[in-house]
Amino acid sequence: MPVSLRMALLTLIAETPRSGYDIGREFDGILTFVWHAKPTQVYPELRRLAEEELIREQGEGPRRRRPYEITERGLDELRDWLTTTSADRSQRNEVVLRSFGLWLVDREQSEAFLREELEFHRARLRGMRALQARLDPERPADRAAMLGLEAGVRRLEAVVSWAEWAIDYVRTWPDTDTKQASEHG
């Protein structure tokens, strides 16, 4: 079973009851580096999870928020997913795909693209390290979150290293590549 929004929601709610608003803040915070979901995706999935009795509303909280808590059935489904299914390791990476086509633009455009990637990933790396610093190793959920964040830090460090290398590498390209590419078109 591929990773789904369903499992991301169950994982969040298993730690502590959360409203749709709270979940949205998590997707903009610690989960921004591993999973993205829009409110238009979150709320309908919360309703489905409640209909399937995997979560239940706790009633209305402050500011009219409706926190959900996980049920035993929801915990069973989450544990089953964690222990009996293989992770979906397929990936799409538009940056890498674009890098295959950089021979079609001039060297300066290629460098600009790579510099933008470098700065984007450096900023994400700073953000991820800041999130790590806020984790409390006394909390079980934070200890587990450290695993995911450290994986993200190490991947981002590798991407930053690749982008730095790629910029230097592109600087060695001759200016004639773009002219040759236009002759092939």
* Domain CATH code at residue 51: 1.10.10.10
Quote the pLDDT of residue 180.
Answer: 56
Confidence of residue 179 (pLDDT cuts 50, 70, 90): low
SS3 69: strand
Judged by average pLDDT, the poorest of 15-29, 94-108, 137-151, 162-176 is 15-29
- Helix intervals (H) in 5-65: 5-15, 20-28, 39-51
Q: How far are the Cα atoms of 25, 73, 113 from residue 165, in angstroms, in the given order? A: 35, 49, 13
11 assigned to some structural domain: yes
Task: Count up the domains in the chain and report the number.
Answer: 2
Q: Which residues pair with 56 in a beta bridge?
A: 69
89 assigned to some structural domain: no
Judged by average pLDDT, the poorest of 116-120, 147-151, 158-162 is 147-151
Whether residues 20 and 41 fall in one domain: yes
Average pLDDT for 5-14: 91
Quote the pLDDT of residue 87.
Answer: 83
Average pLDDT for 25-48: 80
Whether residues 178 and 122 fall in one domain: yes
pLDDT tens readout for residues 71-127: 999 999 999 999 998 887 777 789 999 999 999 999 999 999 999 999 999 999 998
Whether residues 21 and 78 fall in one domain: yes
**Residue pair 89/100 in contact by the 8 Å Cβ criterion:** no
138 assigned to some structural domain: yes
Whether residues 78 and 99 fall in one domain: no
Q: Where a domain ends, among 37, 56, 84?
A: 84
Judged by average pLDDT, the poorest of 22-31, 102-111, 173-182 is 173-182
- Helix intervals (H) in the chain: 5-15, 20-28, 39-51, 72-84, 94-100, 107-133, 140-170, 177-184
33 assigned to some structural domain: yes
For residue 57, give its domain range. Answer: 5-84
